[in-house]
Amino acid sequence: MSILVTGGAGFIGSHTCVELINSGYEPIIIDNLCNSKSESIKRIEEITGKRIKFYECDIRDRAGLDRVFAENCIEAVIHFAGLKCVPESISEPLKYYDNNIGGTVTLCEAMKAAGCKKIVFSSSATVYGSENPSPLREDMPEGKTTNPYGTTKLYIEKVLKDLYASDNSWSVCLLRYFNPIGAHKSGKIGEDPKGIPNNLVPYVSQVAVGKLDHLNVCGNDYPTPDGTGVRDYIHVVDLALGHIKAVEKVLKESGCSTYNLGTGKGYSVLDVVKAFEKASGREVKYVIAPRRPGDIATCYSDPSKAKAELGWEAVRGIEEMCEDSWRWQSQNPNGY
Ligand code: NAD
Ligand code: UD1
């Protein structure tokens, strides 16, 4: 059964393609490679021993999408394609609104025209904003987003909810990710950020491997046990497996549902530094720096809805996440 994976060459998409193949599905990838390399697709093929159909195509290219739907019998779409750099979204908001929201609208139009009305979407915990207390639950109101990237996720959720409200034959699953880290056990695929990483674990990995001198710990005066920010880190393979459950759900029934994909556990920046040092056997030098604008003290999920309704829960712990991130980083010090 063919599943279209937009953004399938990227970090989460590539891991999800491996798990789709392991579960007997045939992923078809669309990616414009603006934040990835086709080498990741070769690596998925190496891991799984299966060939993957790949279209180098932008999700805003309606004619390109129509061709992909015409040439394949696509049962459902997992929609990862999007830009995700928070500081860039602040300096170039139009690029984010066009790519993320415009791209999703074009994708949905092409899906509707092709009669494929089943979609799983990559949303983010960022839609809870800063006012809701953790653990965050799906029935809490969405918060005020603090940057255009977050606003695109909130609006895309609204677009997809409105689409379902207008036509109940759609099947929509909105997945709110917490902080995906880690990599496939083989060390062949992982997160490959361009330039200096913004996110914690890619930064820590590059300090450990010697590419960066030290980590700036952004604030140690938060109301948390050690004063540093607390997040719900989730292994990317657990996250990928959550998508398999979500695909099964959209294939089975129409509806519109929202799920947190997190572990329910919070770790501080210094907990992550310690776990990474243990996993890598390397020192991770750090200095305490000012808070990063827009950051909140604590963010972790209540993952019980996904367990109850999808039969999914994250099982990989922080040690395994750091070991697998380190294996990918040390085997591929310069990425793909
Ligand atoms: P990624 O950048 O590694 O993957 C996204 C992929 O989409 C890339 O391969 C990129 O080339 C492709 N892409 C972007 N715009 C496109 C377009 N217009 N047409 C075709 N392809 C396009 O990012 P990721 O970490 O794998 O994230 C996947 C999705 O999950 C994104 O939507 C992201 O916003 C969301 N998300 C990620 C995180 C995270 O921490 N990584 C957290 C919450 C949500
Ligand atoms: C960030 C984004 C979020 C996005 C997610 C995935 C912001 C405000 N939020 O989440 O919208 O969905 O990435 O792309 O950018 N930290 C340091 N030093 C660093 C980097 C991070 O101390 O060099 C700290 C942060 O202050 C935070 C924690 O590490 O407490 C995690 O940061 P990060 O990995 O960037 O994720 P989020 O901020 O949770």
By CB atoms closer than 10 A (0-12, 13-18, 19+), residue 128 is: buried
Position 85: which residue type? C
pLDDT, one tens digit per residue, over 26-82 is 999 999 999 999 999 999 999 999 999 999 999 999 999 999 999 999 999 999 999
Rg (Cα) of the chain, in Å, rounded? 19
Q: Quick check: 326 and 208 in contact, CB under 8 A? A: yes
- Sorted by sequence, the CB contacts under 8 Å of residue 132 that are 6+ apart come out as 140, 141, 143
Q: What is the pTM of this model?
A: 0.98
Token pair 């759900």: residue: 249
Q: Which run of H or E residues covers position 327?
A: helix 318-331
Ligand 2 centre from 221 Cα, in Å? 16
Q: What is the spatial distance between Cα 297 and Cα 154, in angstroms, rounded to a whole number? A: 21
**Per-residue model confidence (pLDDT) at position 150:** 97
Look at residue 181 and tell me whether its pLDDT is greater than 90.
yes
Tell me what the mean pLDDT of segment 109-121 comes to. Answer: 98
Ligand 1 centre from 227 Cα, in Å? 30
Q: How far lies 110's CA from each of 1, 65, 221, 251, in Å?
A: 19, 6, 48, 18
Q: Which atom of ligand 2 is nearest to the CA of 201?
A: 34
Q: Is 124 in the pocket of ligand 2 (CB under 6 A)?
A: yes
Ligand 2 centre from 298 Cα, in Å? 11
Q: Report residue 19 CA to chain centroid gap.
A: 15
Q: Which atom of ligand 1 is nearest to the CA of 40?
A: 9
Tell me what the mean pLDDT of segment 85-113 comes to. Answer: 97
| Residue whose CB lies within 8 A of the most ligand 2 atoms, among 295, 296, 300, 322, for a mutation test | 295
Q: In the structure encoding, which two tokens stand for residue 293, read together?
A: 């604008």
Q: Is 200 in the pocket of ligand 2 (CB under 6 A)?
A: yes
Look at residue 161 and tell me whether its pLDDT is greater than 90.
yes
Residues with a CB atom less than 6 Å from ligand 1: 7, 9-13, 30-36, 58-60, 80-84, 99, 103, 122, 124, 177, 179-180
By CB atoms closer than 10 A (0-12, 13-18, 19+), residue 198 is: middle
Q: Work out the number of other CB atoms within 10 angstroms of the CB of residue 222.
A: 19
